[in-house]
Each structure stands twice: as C-alpha cells, then as structure tokens.
Amino acid sequence: MLVADQRAWYTTEIGEDYNIIKPVTKKNDYLQLLPMLHARLVVNDKIRLKAAITRTFARPDFGSLVAWGSYMAQDNEYFMGNPDWEPTKATNVDLMSEFYLGGIGCITAGVFYKKIQDPIFSNTYTSPEYEGHTDVRISQDMN
C-alpha cells in the first residue's frame, strides 16, 4: 500500500511596536510545501515492512518573533525579538519492520534519519553601548 500527500502552509507574520520612541514594523512571509510518502508492504502473515519520507517544519515561539525587545535593568540584559526568523525545516526518513511470533507477540525494529535545516539557537554577546546603557548583555534567538 502506498499513500502520498502534499500539504502547503502560507504564513504572514506582522509585528508592530515601539523601540524606545520610534515605531517598528516587521513583516515576514513564507510558504512551506510539506510532501509525504508512506509505504507498507505485507511480505507474509508474519512479516510487515513500513517506510515513510516526510517534510516537516516548526515555527519559533510567538514571543521570539516580536519586532522589539525588553531591557532588564537589574541584570543589564536586553532580550531582542527576531521577526526575520525562518521556521526550522526537517526531512525525515523512517523504516520499520514487524515480525509476528504467532500467539506470543511480535518483535519490531525501526530506524530513522532526520536532516534539520535552519535550526534555532540563542546568540548572546556583550555590547559596549546599547540604547544609552554600557556593557549590555544582548540575547537573541536566531537561525
């Protein structure tokens, strides 16, 4: 048996806020095509094989997409949003085998492979001066 499917997600993100006293607006559009193919083969009444190839994605947390940041005076730290983020994408391959042992159960074994693109990481650095403050620790998630 073979099953194929194609999903499409179109996303528009618009962030508006004020950075100190000036308005900030950021927009990010993207289209994700997510094909998938699933196959199942019944070799005999005791052996079954399954395989899948899929494309998936994950969006950043909502709070990380904002077009502004927040300054924590007690820590001298500025957390910046990143509205230009791209979603993390992955290509997945899964293989599974099932061996049925009559009335006592079955043995299953599987392997998978995942290739991740645009992974999310946190970037932190110290700026000598930022928005009138000195030696500010700045953190921003990015990919």
Per-residue model confidence (pLDDT) at position 112: 97
Cβ distance 81 to 64 under 8 Å? yes
Task: Tell me which residue has tokens 């043995």.
Answer: 107
pLDDT in tens, 12-59: 877 666 555 566 677 778 889 999 999 999 999 999 999 999 999 988
- DSSP code, position 45: S
Per-residue model confidence (pLDDT) at position 63: 72
Cβ distance 76 to 137 under 8 Å? yes
Phi-psi region for residue 21, left (φ > 0), alpha (ψ -120 to 50) or beta? alpha
Residues in Cβ contact with 82 at an 8 Å cutoff, skipping those fewer than 6 apart: 60, 64, 65, 140, 141, 142
Kindly report the length of the chain.
143
* Whole-number average pLDDT of the chain: 87
